[in-house]
Amino acid sequence: MSSGNYWGPRAPATSLTERPGAPAIEAWDGSLTYAQLNAQSDSLAEHLAQLGVGPEVFVPIIFEKSKLSIIAMLAVVRVGGVIVPMDSSQPLSRLHTMANDIKAAIAVTSARNHGKMPQNVKEVVLNDSLLAQLATNRAGRATASSTAVNPDNALYDMFTSGSILKAQRCSG
């Protein structure tokens, strides 16, 4: 893949600035323009980086379908982390096994899914209040840097639904 075709973590910021006022997300829990999506995901990305998320760090994402799930995924990608979507309807034992398999240290969850990770995994509960706090904390500062990210970094890791056996993984 040539570097000119690489759609890396910083590329969305370039795309998002082309139409900042256009609708980016329309969901049951709210709407965001591209500018809002860019700002909120960047604030969360900076927070996740401070917590240790970076290239090749696996981050479980446990959400219902919502605007917040998109913000969480984009934030993880921006710092080079590996998105690991997890189905909250799975039994806790299965979620714990998956988190342990990927050696998760940090997960991003909705309030409804808080507490579904093993005790050794720090859960960042993403909600509008946290996003507002993060925005206030970084007001006036430059965009977070992700220079350590490269095209060879994994983007996602997914578990198959499987059966009663251990879930299988695929990465990309």
User: What pLDDT sits at residue 1?
Assistant: 34
The fraction of the chain above a pLDDT of 90, given in percent, is 62
> Band of the pLDDT at 105, cuts 50, 70, 90?
very high
**Which one is predicted more confidently, 164 or 6?**
164
The answer, yes or no, to whether residue 17 has pLDDT greater than 60, is yes
d(CA 149, CA 138): 22
Domain contains 3:
no
CATH code, domain with 50: 3.40.50.980
Q: Is the residue at 4 inside a domain?
A: no
Q: Which domain holds residue 43?
A: 9-142+152-171
Residue 130 is predicted with a pLDDT of 97
pLDDT > 60? residue 150: yes
* pLDDT greater at residue 144 or residue 148: 148
Assigned domain for 60 exists: yes
Is residue 2 situated within a structural domain?
no
Q: What is the mean pLDDT of residues 89-109?
A: 95
* Predicted pLDDT of residue 159: 84
**In-domain check, residue 114:** yes
In a domain, 147, yes or no: no
Interval 135-154 mean pLDDT: 72
DSSP symbols for the chain: --GGG---TTHHHHHHHHSTTSEEEEETTEEEEHHHHHHHHHHHHHHHHHTT--TT-EEEEE--SSHHHHHHHHHHHHTT-EEEE--TTS-HHHHHHHHHHTT-SEEEE-GGGTT-S-TTSEEEE--HHHHHHHHHHTTTPPPPP-TT--TTS--BEEE---SSSPPPEEE-
Q: Per-residue pLDDT tens for 56-78?
A: 999 999 999 999 999 999 999 99
Tens of pLDDT, residue by residue over 120-140, are 999 999 999 999 999 998 776
Number of structural domains (the chain) is 1
92 within a domain of the structure (yes/no): yes
